[in-house]
Amino acid sequence: MSVWKEDKPDKSTAFNAAQQALYDDLLESARNRPPVESLADFEALFFGHSSLFESEVSPFLYHILFANDESEFRNTLKRACYILINNWERRSQGDMVQALLALFHQPSLHKPTLSPSMKRLRHWLLNFADSQDFEELKIFAIQRINLANAGNWSNRYVVYRLVTQAIDDRNSFEQKDAAKKMASKLKNKFKHDLALYTAFSHGSSQSGSKYPNPTVLGDEVLRLVKSVLLRRDQFSYRNVARIFQQQLIDTSYQDYKESLVDYLCFSIAQPEFVAAIETTLPQQLAQLYPDKNEVDVNSSLALRTCNRLIDWITTEDNRRPTPLFEKLLAQGNPLNIAVLILKIVLISPNSQLYLEARLASLVNYYEPYLETECTGVIQFLEICNVMFAIYSDSVEYSLVRVNPRQEQKTTPARNQLGQSELDLNQQTHHQSRYEPESLEDFRIFSRSLRAAQKKASRTFQQHRTERTSNESA
């Protein structure tokens, strides 16, 4: 054994060179050969054609098997899979992903073999097929199915899982690139489908069947879209976000944190929702980077702060939802939660991918539950999809004719969203009674307004306590 080591060049250098040569050969095959042939090359490299003899396994693979390095084998196999997927997608041959996945379910992997190396190889392949890495690969096959009928309800939100892959620095360039492109493709498709549905759903039932509702919210989703569009005025979410940023230029981090809560609660008409925010976030913000309180807030500090807000509202450990999320969801108005995170992203656009990764964590947590057991979460995720599609610059929703008078005449229905749509309309009409001529002249986030809001909050809490005491008596 010592002689073998002496005869070989530096192990890491030789290994890396052989590994890169494998990637290069597979890349050339994927680019220049039909997909069936490139898949056959991949199978020959990693499956050994189910042979009985070590000599029929590729030299590089035999090197890994000899070293008994399953971790390196898995990393190499995973990157090779994404080299194929990336190139198949570029050539519009993504349907081959199913054939790639099928290799890991061949009956031959369970056959006995006389070869210790082949036995080890098959064991590693089966382990990979039972790993999280393989689940991530399956996403690229799931997205080609009609997501509304793709088995578990969580598959409808595969885009968030793709975003998680795309921003994970532990993944290879090929995996991140494939995930980024697929996520972008799915987002654009949803925006396109929603725009068509919104534009043509005013017509006959025939046009409705031609352009189906891309959500599972039911046809009442059109009212939600209209309601959001009606806010595109001085007090639109985008405009209020701009004013918030303008009014807090050259302000201290302490004032920024205090104003954040005011901004998030601004225009939300549900007292219980506002109370839950104001009894949780201020305390958490007060403890966040206290050494920066007297420093002027900058873009980096604002980004980190908004990311922490997203954590507190969704999930802090990437495993389970926060108590605040569960409390807000239990109030039965998922639209308010969606608006809350929309406001954060509007003042911190670079937080959106971070947010989408947290949404993926929520999907993972609730995935074992039946669809009927997590209706509120599904409504929240659907509304998030709609809201971000509407606020995307790549879709022109002004093509949709919205008649405010017709909207007011429509009887508000208590549908799957509960009072979500009614609440949003009430907020819009209520604000119009004191709307100033210039929003810039109205100090929305001034200290005097904060004092008035805090006083109103204390009054609300006092009345709530008195009511509870009277009911107990």
- What SS3 class is residue 252? strand
Alpha helices for 201-252 (secondary structure H): 205-210, 221-230, 237-247
Distance separating alpha carbons of residues 101 and 136, to the nearest angstrom: 11
Q: Are 341 and 310 in contact (CB under 8 A)?
A: yes
Q: What's the pLDDT band for 267 if we cut at 50, 70, 90? A: confident
Mean pLDDT of 50-75: 72
Which amino acid makes up residue 433?
A: R
Evaluate if residue 308 carries a pLDDT over 90: yes
Cβ partners under 8 Å of residue 316, min gap 6: 322
Q: Encode pLDDT of 5-38 as tens digits.
A: 434 444 577 778 888 888 999 999 999 999 999 9
Looking at residue 225, its pLDDT comes to 63
Which comes out higher in pLDDT, residue 304 or 114?
304
Instruction: Give tens-digit pLDDT for 395-427.
Output: 444 444 434 344 334 333 333 333 333 333 333
pLDDT higher than threshold 70 for residue 293: yes
Mean pLDDT of 181-206: 80
The predicted structure's pLDDT at residue 127: 95
Whether pTM > 0.85 for this model: the answer is: no
Token reading at 405? 């008078």
155-159, 196-200, 369-373: range with lowest mean pLDDT: 196-200
Task: Write down the domain spans for the chain.
Answer: 2-142, 189-472
Residue of 54 and 124 predicted with greater confidence: 124
